[in-house]
Amino acid sequence: MLTAFARAFKTPDLRKKLLFTLGIIVIYRIGTHIPIPGVDYRAVQVCIDQASTNTGLFGLVNMFSGGALLQITIFALGIMPYITASIILQLLTVVIPRLEALKKEGQAGTAKITQYTRYLTVALAILQGTGLVATARSGALFQRCQVANQIVPDQSIFTTVVMVITMTAGTAMVMWLGELITDRGIGNGMSILMFISIAATFPSALWAIKEQGSLADGWIEFGTVVAVGLVMIGLVVFVEQAQRRIPVQYAKRMIGRRSYGGTSTYIPLKVNQAGIIPVIFASSLLYIPALIAQFSGGSSDWKAWIERNLAQTDAPTHIVLYFFLIIFFAFFYVAISFNPEEVADNMKKYGGFIPGIRAGRPTAEYLSYVLNRITWPGSLYLGLIALVPTMALAGFGANQNFPFGGTSILIIVGVGLETVKQIESQLQQRNYEGFLR
């Protein structure tokens, strides 16, 4: 594998792409440390230094921003607005016929949908930036910090507008950097930036576990967490690569004097067909009532119940709801992203059939049956992986900075495998051995 990396850097055009990607990553990481105007940077650092302030409702967004959210930098929103906009457009494609028609138009339609995604990203960045500024001004961003109300000293409308515009521009720049990586670098740009954001939080989180440990100066806890993380990565790689291959046979066709078809292939149905999206959906849905309760004034029974049962990640109600929401969204996303009837019609159109299954409706029913059966273990796997941080908290007293959480591991493994495959394919095009010999 190291030899393959060396050969990749020896190839001029591939080396240029790798270096370009690394340069964009450096620019992105610099932006995550530049504070926005109107923020008292010293007060922010005082609050961040307190371990208990890193908990709360903003952990997921802070992870996706590489820690920039709690530092309130120009890239504080990270790529979350783009991820949310992409998911919304993907769901609306199934509902709105106009978007579905654009999707079928090929490259031109995809470019139009991408343009809509950019507009929606900017709109969501304005909305989320306004919410973040209001949260920082009220002191709710760091609930247990004594100087939380001093993070934004000047609370005038002009300062608020400047802060929102700065964060929105930062989100637009992150989106542009991701597209530059996609066009001129290696891999999917947004996925690479998401990978870097999550991986950047690992060293500090691991060192915090070592510092807070009590066995042999914390090295035993540190080694245990690293060992658990490596085992989890191995299991996630195994499941992410697992697939159910449905054989497909194409009949021979005579067109003029040439014979076409007669080949055998397969339809790869992954065990985790939905990817990380069900976890993101479930997390976002559970954050909504907690955020409403946080910003509502006064005290009431419903607010106390939400803060006790939904806002606390280790509460039994939160765990049960989180688990079942992941299962629900896994089936929901698979249902809208894979259409068995459309696949069966395309197979029938080109003379393909599954051995032992009649073409047409019986093929669609068979695909639905197989898809439902493999979605069950995939959804259960997502639910269990997503609950790893909670189990770690209860098991050996890890803090909320437990680095090998389900969401982070799923994203890192998925993006890493996809990027390695792209490098592998480019090496194979140049007759190199690649990573796998």
One pLDDT digit (tens) per residue for the chain, 437 residues: 556 667 777 777 888 888 899 999 999 989 888 888 888 878 887 777 764 444 455 666 677 677 777 788 888 888 888 888 887 887 788 788 888 888 877 788 888 888 899 999 999 899 888 888 887 887 777 766 777 677 888 778 888 899 899 999 999 999 999 989 988 888 888 888 888 888 887 777 777 777 776 666 677 877 877 887 788 888 888 888 888 888 888 776 666 666 665 677 888 888 888 877 788 778 777 777 776 766 665 667 777 777 777 766 667 788 888 888 889 888 888 888 888 888 888 888 877 888 888 888 888 888 889 888 999 988 888 888 887 766 665 555 554 556 666 677 888 888 888 888 888 777 777 654 555 55
Residue 201: inside a domain? no
Residues 259 and 165 in one domain: no
Phi, psi of 30 (to 5 degrees): -65, -40
Residues 136 and 38 in one domain: yes
Residue 227: inside a domain? no
Which 8-state DSSP code applies to residue 403? S
Phi, psi of 13 (to 5 degrees): -70, -35
Q: What are the Cα distances from residue 230, in Å, to 63, 210, 380, 393, 406? A: 20, 17, 21, 18, 13
> In the chain, count of helices (H) and strands (E)?
19, 5
Residues 385 and 249 in one domain: yes
How is the chain split among helix, strand and coil, in percent rounded to 5? 70, 5, 25
State the pTM of this model: 0.78
Residues 182 and 283 in one domain: no
How far is residue 406's CA from residue 386's CA, in Å, rounded to a whole number? 4
Tokens 């790893």 locate to 388
Last residue of a domain, one of 193, 220, 250: 193
- Which residue segment(s) compose the domain that 359 sits in? 241-406
Burial of 429 (0-12, 13-18, 19+ CB in 10 A): exposed
Residues 313 and 182 in one domain: no
Residues 182 and 253 in one domain: no
| Residue 102 near residue 111, CB atoms below 8 Å | no
Residues 257 and 383 in one domain: yes
* CA nearest neighbour of 57 among 427, 412, 400, 366: 400
Residues 98 and 178 in one domain: yes
Residue 420: inside a domain? no
Helices (H), 256-360: 277-295, 301-309, 316-337, 340-349
How far is residue 73's CA from residue 83's CA, in Å, rounded to a whole number? 19
| Residue 355 near residue 247, CB atoms below 8 Å | yes
411-423 in b/e form (b: 16+ CB < 10 A) is bbbbbbeebbeeb
Residue 115: inside a domain? yes
Q: What are the Cα distances from residue 419, in Å, to 18, 191, 231, 412? A: 11, 9, 21, 10
Reported as a single tens digit per residue, the pLDDT across 70-126 is: 788 888 888 888 888 887 887 788 788 888 888 877 788 888 888 899 999 999 899
Residues 188 and 329 in one domain: no
Amino acid at 420: V
| Cβ within 8 Å of residue 264, ≥6 positions away | 247, 248, 249, 250
Residue 423: inside a domain? no
Residues 75 and 173 in one domain: yes
How far is residue 326's CA from residue 375's CA, in Å, rounded to a whole number? 12
How far is residue 279's CA from residue 332's CA, in Å, rounded to a whole number? 12
Strands 253-255 and 243-250: unpaired
- The string of DSSP codes covering 32-95 is TT-BPTT--HHHHHHHHHSGGGG-STTHHHHHHTTTHHHHTBTTTTTTHHHHHHHHHHHHHHHH
Residue 206: inside a domain? no
| Cβ within 8 Å of residue 81, ≥6 positions away | 121, 122, 124, 125, 128, 171
CATH of the domain at 41: 1.10.3370.10
How far is residue 153's CA from residue 155's CA, in Å, rounded to a whole number? 6
Residue 174: inside a domain? yes
Q: How many domains does the chain have?
A: 2
Residues 278 and 392 in one domain: yes
Residue 74: inside a domain? yes
Residue 98 tokens read as 């106009």
Which 8-state DSSP code applies to residue 11? S
Reported as a single tens digit per residue, the pLDDT across 147-201 is: 767 788 877 888 889 989 999 999 999 999 998 998 888 888 888 888 888 888 7
| Residue 124 near residue 172, CB atoms below 8 Å | no
Residues 33 and 161 in one domain: yes
